[in-house]
């Protein structure tokens, strides 16, 4: 977690360098992606004998909107769902998070970024006609790169530490996304 704050601070301090590459930035973006999430938690079905937590691989989707009031700053809304069926139990996790993204624009077609998104998560499962669900705090702390594919399109690769707080315990899950982004408008 300290590393994420250090990276975010470094991006903030170096964002002045990015101003020179702002001429081609666009103020709005929408995107969609495939998401992979590795959840380690105490609220999922146990695998094997013993232990108080388990890990499950989930696959899903992500939809994102962003407004960029400055070329180096984005305000992001991120909505995601991920699903799995470990040991015959249908499991899902939904998140809705919002927050800032710091873009480190430069003269190349590759733009690194860091983001801190805060919001809510809902996790649930069903088996044998019985369902349970729980809501909790969620935070996505991470970053990635945009690769321009033309004036309005970009490919985005992102990796996040997805923090949740289910069952009175913190969970840190790995999230990886491969996204297509449409950018529009002019500063």
Work out the average pLDDT over 169-182. Answer: 93
DSSP string, 79-144: EEEEEE-GGG-EEEEEEEEEEEEEE---SSSEEEEEEEEEEEEEEEEEETTEEEEEEEEEEEEEEE
Structural domain including 94 reads 2-46+54-184
Digit-coded pLDDT (tens) for 100-146: 999 999 889 999 999 999 999 999 888 888 888 999 999 999 999 99
pLDDT in tens, 34-89: 999 998 765 555 545 444 557 889 999 999 999 999 989 999 999 999 999 988 88
> Is 10's pLDDT higher than 90?
no
Q: pTM for this structure?
A: 0.80
- At 18 the pLDDT is 45
Query: Residue 56's pLDDT is what?
Result: 87
* Residue 130: predicted pLDDT: 86
Band (20; pLDDT cuts 50, 70, 90): low
Question: How many domains is the chain partitioned into structurally?
Answer: 1
Contacts of 99 by beta carbon, 8 Å cutoff, 6+ apart: 75, 76, 115, 116, 117, 118, 140
Domain of 35, CATH number, reads 2.40.160.20
Q: Could you tell me the two tokens for 151?
A: 């004036």
More confident residue, 174 or 8: 174
Say yes or no to pLDDT of 17 above 90: no
Cβ atoms < 10 Å from Cβ of 20 = 11
Q: CA angle, 95 as apex, 59 and 78 as ends, to 5°?
A: 95
Query: pLDDT at position 185, please?
Result: 87
Which pLDDT score, from 0 to 100, does residue 186 have? 78
């Amino acid at each position: 977690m300290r590393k994420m704050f250090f990276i975010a601070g470094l991006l903030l301090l170096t964002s002045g360098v990015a101003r020179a590459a702002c001429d081609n930035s666009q103020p709005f973006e929408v995107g969609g992606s495939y998401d992979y999430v590795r959840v380690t938690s105490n609220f999922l079905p146990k695998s094997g004998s013993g232990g108080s937590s388990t890990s499950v691989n989930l696959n899903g989707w992500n939809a994102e909107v962003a407004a960029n009031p400055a070329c180096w700053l984005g305000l992001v809304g991120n909505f995601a769902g991920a699903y799995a069926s470990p040991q015959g139990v249908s499991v899902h996790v939904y998140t809705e998070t919002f927050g800032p993204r710091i873009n480190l624009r430069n003269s190349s077609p590759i733009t690194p970024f860091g983001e801190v998104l805060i919001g809510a998560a809902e996790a649930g499962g069903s088996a044998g006609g019985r369902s349970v669900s729980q809501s909790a705090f969620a935070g996505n702390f991470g970053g990635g790169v945009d690769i321009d594919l033309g004036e309005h399109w970009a490919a985005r690769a992102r990796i996040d530490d997805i923090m949740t707080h289910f069952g009175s315990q913190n969970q840190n899950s790995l999230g990886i996304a491969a996204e297509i982004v449409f950018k529009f408008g002019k500063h």
